[in-house]
Structure 1
């Protein structure tokens, strides 16, 4: 059956859905961004076919697969009609083999125009991992905790600046408090897939703004090659007075569940020390968010400042956390530096 390469498969029209025919457990681990789970077999059926293949023979495994496939054919066609009323779909499995071939045969029999991905999702993963090694011009925005770096990135994006929001992709703000108020983080594999897709969407040769991050952002970690590029790039350091940062963080975290804040404090109690931990927990109980933030900020400021050693710094001083003001300051300073 005809198959198309990834370079032709990915840029398909938005109205032509990508149907991932792998088992649900495979899809949950990682999938092409935007793809719809369209499993040919359940997780249990896939496991049974695999066991039959290994322990008996390929022929028996194929027959077992057909036993599972037969009763589902009508149901699969009806689902495809709902997902693609124009009867055009893109289909893939793991390697571009029997599973996607079977679905292509079925849907073409039902009158669909089907584009089948050559080499399957495995080829997408190869492409995604290679994407991180592509050399890029990065403008890394740093600053002590509470400087409003993420807000400044959003303000830069509103000014049509290319922005890569790593914390948005990770669903985590990076600190021990980073998961509060966020949806569940993706798997490592899905984070990489989403990140590769975001990078590929940028116009080549234009500088990309990205927030300064450690190698790990909550439960996920940055690919080594991209992290090395970020660390080698000049660091645009936004410097905001401590009191403004304390006030901003207190306002943000004061809106969240005190129990979640206390749990975050306890996660870093060894780094804070017993006395500071006790005082920070007491401040939460007293609803004194500024005191709690101030106590914890000492630790984060020391840690971040220590990590600045040896990096090329471009200082941007501001007396406010206003993201629009700071975005303008950052742009002006960066343009002056690169002119």
Structure 2
């Protein structure tokens, strides 16, 4: 069988059916990778450093010889690992004879060529990505410049917007959950109960993949619901071009009474570790103010979560109002919906009653 080099669009189409093998080092993969790709490193991080140093300081041939020393003892284990992977994915990819695998490294150079040669020799049908992961990054960044039919779910803190997104998805609507991609809920308390945040690069890859998936399913048409966010979500930044598009899109603003939202927040965050919550309050001390910070912390120490969150909610409401006032959008694009409660089922009905439907 001949190894086929393919461009990024074809590579990603095949990636929805067949396993993607990322043969970069573990450190490169951990920093960021194509979503769904499987890590099959040709070299360890240290081995990559040795080969790279030899390439720069001695010669290409010397680097290849060192690389072959590392590669030789790994050949059989790598083949067997790919066999196991293909077997696990057999129902999805329906591979029985001549199983297909996709291989890439950083630039589509020697590492992917070496692994592709081995797997092709063994009997796999192998495709490699022209330009490697570097080409994927160019593709990912280009996704943020495309135009999407976005509907932004707005509302003050404690409005249950994320839960509403989940319910919309359950009802067949297309959504992108930025907070899930960022592993952060956006506020100073946003990291509580979440996994560590990805790198900025990986966040962008995940967002690009989500946008690509929405477009692949629905084409250029089709409404996508997305939560109103600050450009910064924890340590993640929404890419500028996509952020600007969010800020100029239609907004559905859920107007829910303060006390209802306060009850929701108290139930949502009151279960977390007290020390972690105190640290979260202290992180916004400069913006919250010394007196309010001291009062909020004292309420937490007294287990009076409701009064603590009352202080914080007033702060976040002012912060959100400021952002809403500065929004670069036509006021006619903002649709306000009065909701008496944070009950998600009720608010879904409020949305449907307003005939907010996917086009």
TM more than 0.5? yes
Gaps of 5+ in 2: 88-94
Does the 8 Å CA contact 2:15/2:102 hold for their aligned counterparts?
A: no
Matched residue, 1:314: 335
Tell whether 2:334 aligns with 1:332.
no
- For residues 230 and 207 of structure 1, the distance between their equivalents in structure 2, rounded to whole angstroms, comes to 13
Displacement, 1:301?
0.6
Gaps of 5+ in 1: none
Matched residue, 2:281: 265
Q: TM-score normalized by structure 1?
A: 0.96
Tell whether 2:100 aligns with 1:88.
yes
Tell whether 2:214 aligns with 1:198.
no
Tell whether 2:11 aligns with 1:9.
yes
Displacement, 1:90?
1.1
Does the 8 Å CA contact 1:94/1:122 hold for their aligned counterparts?
A: yes
The farther-off stretch of 238-247 and 100-109 is: 100-109
Does the 8 Å CA contact 1:15/1:84 hold for their aligned counterparts?
A: no
- For residues 355 and 153 of structure 2, the distance between their equivalents in structure 1, rounded to whole angstroms, comes to 11
Matched residue, 1:69: 71
From 263, 266, 280, the equivalent of 1:247 is 263
1:169-180 aligned at under 5 Å gives the runs 169-180=181-192
Displacement, 1:330?
2.4
- For residues 105 and 356 of structure 2, the distance between their equivalents in structure 1, rounded to whole angstroms, comes to 47
Displacement, 1:334?
5.4
Matched residue, 1:60: 62
SS at match of 1:130: helix
- For residues 270 and 263 of structure 2, the distance between their equivalents in structure 1, rounded to whole angstroms, comes to 10
Does the 8 Å CA contact 1:284/1:292 hold for their aligned counterparts?
A: yes
- For residues 102 and 75 of structure 1, the distance between their equivalents in structure 2, rounded to whole angstroms, comes to 15
Deviation track 1:98-135 (CA, whole Å, cap 9, x = no partner) reads 11111011112222221211221111111110011101
Displacement, 1:332?
3.0
Does the 8 Å CA contact 2:4/2:126 hold for their aligned counterparts?
A: no
Does the 8 Å CA contact 1:272/1:299 hold for their aligned counterparts?
A: yes
Displacement, 1:11?
2.1
Displacement, 1:182?
0.7
Q: Between Structure 1 and Structure 2, how many residues are aligned? A: 338
1:24-35 aligned at under 5 Å gives the runs 24-35=26-37
Displacement, 1:65?
1.1
